[in-house]
Structure 1
Amino acid sequence: MSDGGPRGTPPPRTPAARRRALGLDRGAWFLLVPALLPILVLSVGPLLYAVALSFTDARFGRTVETDFTGAANFADLRLDPLFWESFRLGLVWSLSVTALQLLLGLGLALLLDQNLRFGWLARTLALVPWAMPEVVVGLMWRLVYHQDAGILNETLRRLGVLGPDSGNIDWLTDLSLALPAVVLVGVWAGMPLTTVVLLAGLQNVPRELAEAAHLDGAGVWRRFASVTWPALRPVALSITALNLIWNLNSFGLVYVLTQGGPGGKTRLPSLFVYEEAFTYGQFGYAAAMGVVLTAVVAVCLTVFLRKSLRETAP
């Protein structure tokens, strides 16, 4: 006979058991301190400070007084066309880069999943762009896009796309080409991570189901839509949501390539916040921009977590 309560309920804890459990909980929290402390100091602390700063008129200068202004910064931000144009460019950038990373990364992952000769070498080379720092990637692609000495213009000229009498294309200062050129670099730099994650997801696709579908006469596309994609969808959703968040926060790559030019055509929101704070010294207004962007990222993260939990729920 059980000495506990009704069937399915655990027996009540004795005072000694509760003390032991509390001791274990305290020990677990003590072990978590080294991991939580850097997060509190480097992430939560600056975030709370930025929120507080967004309600002031803080400006650059040691002797400048800072006053509480309430929601004045957010009211000004609502009517700032430059910020909303930057926000629109940020959405175009992040959605374009994220979509292309998924499509091209999926294609490359499917290719690398085959029994290719020197497949290990191809997988290693696919990681090279991701292993390079953003500053290095930006400097390298600035050389590629260089108007006079860039390899891209020289290649187009050798292929006959550029005639002998036509001038070279200045990719990063042309108003219509700067954003697509930067998007291409963002896709190149971020696609390897997407490829590796999707390639890992492909390893969990049941091979016997694909073989059975092949024996039933299903074509390549039918096997992908009915077998591969349903098993890969949770992984694809996760990496796509994370890529979207990272791309919304992108700064270093675009700053090295164009510094937001030409004419603000590549001024992403993070670059606009940086300029407002460190070029014009409007720290309070820049903090309000950062709070708005953080709220947008938080909404994206919430949607991602809810979708992920729904996908993994039994």
Structure 2
Amino acid sequence: MTLFHGLIPPVPTIVNEDYQIDTDGAKVVIDHLIDEGVNGLLFLGTLGEFTQLSLEERKKVAEIAVEHVNGRVPVIIGTGSTNTREAIQLSRHSESIGAEGIIVINPYYTPLSEEHLLYHYESIGNVVGLPLLLYNFPAFTGQDLNPDLIKKLVETIPTISGIKDTVESIGHIREVLLKVKNEHPEFSVFCGYDDHLLPTLAAGGDGGICASGNFAPHLALGLLEAFNNQDFRQVIEHHQRLVSIPQIYNLDTPFANVIKEAMKQSGIEISTHVFPPSRSLRESKKKILNDILQGADNLPTKASRPKV
């Protein structure tokens, strides 16, 4: 039995126009997603803009999350850093406040040898007892965690319990399932891209940590339910809608502003401000975003949806 499963949205960090953490906005998002029926919440991942936050800001976001969720669903905190000592400090903090797990992206900017990558994860896993998810996002880190290395990490560090595999090729996820999960069934394998959810499940994976879970969680949740019920007509219908979602990631880089705007268009009353050097989504792109969302699921407009 895997520790984590299903849909776990990577929650954006909500901030006001002065770049201060918006505690009330964070609570609105948390309550909305839990009410929608998600299986967990991940904070301070890529959408959490963790690279733009100070150490103390990251701790504050984690504390708000754990306190307000209050055990309703599992909370996973992103504690990755280019600095192993900082990653350890953040991971210890997450453990001390009661998070259920941590997710750790491999250090970015400078590629590391396999020896150094092992040392980085061992340094965290040896001092923190929380379940640790690997976070593989080679398009952003510049370095892939290949399936053989993932297997070695899992067999070296007992606290490693899963992976979020944000990769273009579904073949990478397939290899992780074949080489790692086949031998370690309790290891959770999550896709990062929305359109990979169905092939991940079909190949034996455990779910998705997908951005659309923030603004259209019913699509992934519907697919998961239909898949579990072997209602393949509904599976295909939800999959076809999810397939169109990744278009929105091309509207801006980085795309936290896109996701926050999508959440607002779906009826969640939050600030869409982001940390510099990013800026809120331009008006011209908001229209394109709305068209994509309407096409994906005939989403009602903000005006016609009940306020959260």
Band the TM-score falls in, shorter-chain normalisation: under 0.3
- Of Structure 1 and Structure 2, which has the larger fraction of its residues in strand? 2
* Higher normalized helix content (fraction of residues): 1
Decide which structure has the larger Cα Rg and report it: 1
